[in-house]
Chain A
Amino acid sequence: MTPPGIEVSGLAVRYGDVPAVQDVSFSVARGELVTLLGPSGCGKTTTLRAIAGLEQPSGGAIRLHGRSVFDAGAGRNVPTEQRGVSMVFQSYAIWPHMTVAENVGYGLRVRRLAREEITRSVDHALGLVQMRDYAARPASRLSGGQQQRVAVARAIAFSPDVLLFDEPLSNLDAKLRAEMRVELRELQQRLNITSLYVTHDQEEALAISDRVIVMQGGRIEQIGAPEEVYNRPGSRFVAEFVGSANLIHGRLLAPAGGTVSFEVAEGSVLELCPNRQPRGDETIVALRSAYIALAPAGAASGANTLRGRIHRRMFHGDFIQYVVACPAGTLIVRRPPTELFAEGADVTASFAPEHCVLL
């Protein structure tokens, strides 16, 4: 069996006495794109930089394509320049004193390739990011989006084993960011390059990744495919950080038959189908705003319906966000802009048992 592209086990990084990353273990298969997602200060960038060798971990081990590049136990620490990784920086790190072609060819020149080969590879890499026409231009005269493309071209030009992205799109405006997202994903799949991607933008993480690793406070909260992380958040933090979720407080009733019942504060009972055996002490159910249906009061009844009144309606364009006051608490509900309810209207909110996630 071939070893994975990136293998991190028990990684710990400390800044002085402050632990920045603790006990982080995961692996990235060859050709896979995995995202480290979390709020600022959660240790995602530190983890990425430790893999690149730009931070010195205090414990754990890192293997790239089966080769050990860091091992605290064995005292092994391969310097960055010998790790065969490549990286796209948040600031792009385009050298302003070189031309576009010189920037892209840097890694090839360092590897002492023949002149013709450098020219060919630079041309190929610039072609992949549609920047071929800019090769001779000084790098200081590029727009943000162009710098971004050059940074990507430079990172892939010397065919690295592993590609690291440190919030590469966070400095672009929203529209360009959405475009580059698609391009980066296509490029990564075309080159089939093992990639680790850091972002704080949950939408971006869900959109481009094969798997998402949610981090908080220097630790991993959950690892899973984007749909899994969204539909089945493993913790309250994940439920709140990824997507929009309602947290409903209550208590578990004694299990009866195949379903699990959850009693909400004012007495309504929700039915759930958890994907794991409940512990029994759970007090929160997470419910995605997008998975709640609204109907005029009295129209629907049955399991998993809550009566309420539209307290506030906010038109967001792609969806309408309702704040629904229910006896059990306030629900945030997102509906398509076609489903219009007036503020103050009485409604019934309903949702499927499989969308109620016990935390």
Chain B
Amino acid sequence: MLYPVAFLLEESFNVGDPQQFPAAEFGLDNYRAIADDLHVLGNTAEVAAIATVLAVLFGFSLAWILTRTSIPGRALLERLMELPYYMTPLVGALAWGILAGPKTGFINQVGHLLGLSGDLVNIYTPFGIGWVMALFEGTVAFVIIGAAMKSMDPSLEEGARVLGAGKLRTIFTVTLPMVAPGVLSAAVFVFAEMLGAFAAAFVLGIPGRFFVITTAIWEATLSYPPDYGRAAALGLSLFAVMLVTLGISRRITRRGSFATISGKAFRPRPIDMGRGGGWLLLVVCWTYIAVSVVLPLAALLLTSFQRFATVVLSQSQFTLDNYATALQMGTLGLAFRNSLLLGFCVATIGMLLTFTLVWIVYRSRTPGRGAFEYIGMFPQAVPRLVFGLGLLWAWINIPIPIYGTLWLLGIAYVTVFLPLGMRTLAGVMLQVDASLEECAKVCGAGWLRRMRTVTLPLLRPGLAAAWLLLFIASVRELGVSIFLMGPNSKVIAPAIVNSWLSSSSELSAAMALLQTATVFAAMLILFAAVRRVSGERA
């Protein structure tokens, strides 16, 4: 992990021949050059700010509606709120490109049919990019804010009511101050994520030559001659900013933890919204689902079956060719198979590795075990794209010939997804009381027997969840793969991007749907597994 970052650092100071390793001359020129890229930084800040405001707005409203009001079907809606996260911003961006592109976008086509002359919407704008990012990051904000709202002891509010405060006064003097740290932390976290976001800015920004940091890095690397120094300097700056922002977010969470003192999950007494209000809120929730999941998927579905994307069904020519191409076309079919293969391997190896790490951190007495946690969580602070870039150089310069092979991608994935796996497993490990394992020890069982008969069986649901999450993450990975994939090691997400840039949106739609279907299938298995296990326990 540190090794690629060190390489980046060296390269960012290299002002000599960018292709030369190790660098011959050092200087600050690459950083000075950032000044020329000021508009890129401005673009990044603009898009990230728009996305953050929108995402927090979505997240807050949804969290408030779903945790504090009595609307019908809350449990189902809460489940559905996770869908946009699994949809991935790449697929969302493609779909919104099809939906709201100028002239040919479905929404504009409808507008033209109705006799409007201009375009109704144009997604290829900073606001459009921010909108798409926010739709998919809104889920993250929802989860963070929702957790803060749920963990609030209802007796705190009841206390205010008993002392004579009205509904509104209670909200302003008790509820909001208690939830504020959660909202703030969500905002900062989302902002950091948005700074490093790639897919939406790429799909919707590149055609209009609107660059943010991540896409500028990509461009600097793939242009000819490649400007690695500039890419590295940009990447490291982004890394630094993200690190600081994530640090702030952590501090806020820690300082503001008064909302979660007891660690118990409360179900606050819902506010009765009456019939009309309830329906209105319900519509808000379903609109979010529709805009972030249903509409994009429908657009992709329609497009993928057509020869030319159109919403005017009488003109459309339906075909299955796009799917046939996606599955058969030499490289594309290969990319799909590669992604699945990588998903299986990365999930399996990653699960074993994270289990070992988590066990060492939480159960063993190894000295310095706390350090493992930091090592495991570190990749989270590094933007994927920047990490991919670092790995690229690191492995080009190592005599082991794995550059351009699936091995390299596999190694990169396992490293990048370590935090995901560790968080998932740590949560489960902490729920399983340590005394269960200690008891086996007292009963005379050695380490292997303890693992086999007690620890692993108890962690089985967690292990299954970690495996599937890693699998899903691998199949949809874009940022790292875009740098590391070679001609013989294509994977699906970058392949979709390439096809979007070079050929037809119809083919891209078919590929995106195939990817989404894979992810959703894995997700369904995940939910089914979790439900079965929790049913057993109950």
Interface string of B435-458 (1 = CB under 8 A from A): 110111111111001000110011
- CB-CB < 8 A to B457: which residues of A? 97
Residues of A140-190 whose CB lies within 8 A of B: 140, 154, 158, 164
Q: Are B435 and A90 in contact (CB under 8 A)?
A: yes
**Besides the known contacts A93-B439, A95-B436, 15 further A-B residue pairs in the complex with CB atoms under 8 A apart:** A52-B442, A53-B441, A54-B441, A80-B442, A81-B441, A85-B442, A89-B438, A93-B435, A95-B439, A95-B454, A96-B537, A97-B457, A106-B443, A107-B444, A154-B443
A90, B441: Cα distance in complex, Å: 16
Q: Are B433 and A81 in contact (CB under 8 A)?
A: no
- CB-CB < 8 A to A93: which residues of B? 433, 435-436, 438-439
**Residue A56 at the chain B interface, CB threshold 8 Å:** yes
Q: Are B442 and A87 in contact (CB under 8 A)?
A: yes
- CB-CB < 8 A to A79: which residues of B? 441
Q: Are B443 and A86 in contact (CB under 8 A)?
A: yes
Given A54-B438, A140-B536, is A97 in contact with B443 using a C-beta cutoff of 8 Å? no
- Looking at the assembled complex, report how far the CB atom of B423 sits from the nearest CB atom of chain A, in whole angstroms: 24
- Looking at the assembled complex, report how far the CB atom of B447 sits from the nearest CB atom of chain A, in whole angstroms: 9
Given A93-B438, A97-B458, is A140 in contact with B537 using a C-beta cutoff of 8 Å? yes
26 A-B interface contacts by CB (under 8 A): A52-B438, A52-B442, A53-B441, A56-B365, A79-B441, A80-B438, A80-B441, A85-B442, A86-B443, A87-B438, A87-B442, A93-B433, A93-B435, A93-B436, A96-B458, A97-B457, A106-B440, A106-B453, A107-B443, A107-B444, A110-B445, A110-B449, A140-B536, A154-B443, A158-B444, A164-B442
Given A95-B458, A97-B457, A97-B458, is A81 in contact with B439 using a C-beta cutoff of 8 Å? no
**Residue A91 at the chain B interface, CB threshold 8 Å:** yes
A107, B288: Cα distance in complex, Å: 55
**Shortest beta-carbon contacts, A-B, top 6:** A107-B443, A93-B439, A93-B435, A89-B435, A80-B441, A87-B442
- CB-CB < 8 A to A54: which residues of B? 438, 441-442
Given A56-B365, A96-B458, is A81 in contact with B438 using a C-beta cutoff of 8 Å? no
**Residue A115 at the chain B interface, CB threshold 8 Å:** no
Question: B444 is contacted by which of A81, A90, A95, A140 (Cβ under 8 Å)?
Answer: A81
Interface centre among A52, A93, A140, A164 (most CB of B within 10 A): A93
- For the complex, would chain B's binding face be called helix, strand, loop or mixed by DSSP majority? helix
- Looking at the assembled complex, report how far the CB atom of A164 sits from the nearest CB atom of chain B, in whole angstroms: 8
- CB-CB < 8 A to A91: which residues of B? 433, 435
Residue of B nearest to A89 (CB): B435
A52, B442: Cα distance in complex, Å: 7
**Residue A279 at the chain B interface, CB threshold 8 Å:** no
- CB-CB < 8 A to B435: which residues of A? 89-91, 93
Residues of B507-538 whose CB lies within 8 A of A: 536-537
Interface string of A39-64 (1 = CB under 8 A from B): 00000000000001110100000000
- Looking at the assembled complex, report how far the CB atom of B451 sits from the nearest CB atom of chain A, in whole angstroms: 13
Question: B443 is contacted by which of A53, A90, A96, A110 (Cβ under 8 Å)?
Answer: A110
> Which B residues are within 8 Å of any A CB, using their own CB?
365, 433, 435-436, 438-446, 449, 453-454, 457-458, 536-537
- CB-CB < 8 A to B454: which residues of A? 95
- CB-CB < 8 A to A80: which residues of B? 438, 441-442
- Looking at the assembled complex, report how far the CB atom of A13 sits from the nearest CB atom of chain B, in whole angstroms: 13
A309, B383: Cα distance in complex, Å: 76
Q: Are A106 and B445 in contact (CB under 8 A)?
A: yes
A136, B24: Cα distance in complex, Å: 74
Given A96-B537, A140-B536, is A89 in contact with B444 using a C-beta cutoff of 8 Å? no
- CB-CB < 8 A to B445: which residues of A? 81, 106, 110
**Residue A316 at the chain B interface, CB threshold 8 Å:** no
Q: Are B536 and A87 in contact (CB under 8 A)?
A: no
A97, B441: Cα distance in complex, Å: 17
- CB-CB < 8 A to B439: which residues of A? 87, 89, 93, 95, 154
- Looking at the assembled complex, report how far the CB atom of B535 sits from the nearest CB atom of chain A, in whole angstroms: 11
**Residue A276 at the chain B interface, CB threshold 8 Å:** no
Residues of A67-104 whose CB lies within 8 A of B: 79-82, 84-87, 89-91, 93, 95-97
Residue of A nearest to B443 (CB): A107
Interface string of A264-289 (1 = CB under 8 A from B): 00000000000000000000000000
Residue of B nearest to A49 (CB): B438
Question: B446 is contacted by which of A81, A106, A158 (Cβ under 8 Å)?
Answer: A81
- CB-CB < 8 A to A56: which residues of B? 365
Residue of B nearest to A53 (CB): B441
A154, B436: Cα distance in complex, Å: 13
- Looking at the assembled complex, report how far the CB atom of B537 sits from the nearest CB atom of chain A, in whole angstroms: 6
Residue of B nearest to A80 (CB): B441
- CB-CB < 8 A to A111: which residues of B? 444
- CB-CB < 8 A to B441: which residues of A? 53-54, 79-81
- CB-CB < 8 A to A84: which residues of B? 444
A290, B365: Cα distance in complex, Å: 48
- Looking at the assembled complex, report how far the CB atom of B265 sits from the nearest CB atom of chain A, in whole angstroms: 19
Residue of A nearest to B458 (CB): A97
- Looking at the assembled complex, report how far the CB atom of A90 sits from the nearest CB atom of chain B, in whole angstroms: 7
Q: Are A86 and B442 in contact (CB under 8 A)?
A: yes
- CB-CB < 8 A to B446: which residues of A? 81
- CB-CB < 8 A to A81: which residues of B? 441-446
Residues of A106-160 whose CB lies within 8 A of B: 106-107, 110-111, 140, 154, 158
A257, B430: Cα distance in complex, Å: 66
Interface centre among B365, B438, B442, B449 (most CB of A within 10 A): B442
- CB-CB < 8 A to A53: which residues of B? 441
A87, B454: Cα distance in complex, Å: 17
A326, B444: Cα distance in complex, Å: 60
- Looking at the assembled complex, report how far the CB atom of A15 sits from the nearest CB atom of chain B, in whole angstroms: 12
Interface centre among B435, B458, B537 (most CB of A within 10 A): B435
- CB-CB < 8 A to B436: which residues of A? 93, 95
Q: Are B442 and A158 in contact (CB under 8 A)?
A: no
A87, B439: Cα distance in complex, Å: 7
Interface string of A16-45 (1 = CB under 8 A from B): 000000000000000000000000000000
A118, B440: Cα distance in complex, Å: 17
- Looking at the assembled complex, report how far the CB atom of B368 sits from the nearest CB atom of chain A, in whole angstroms: 13
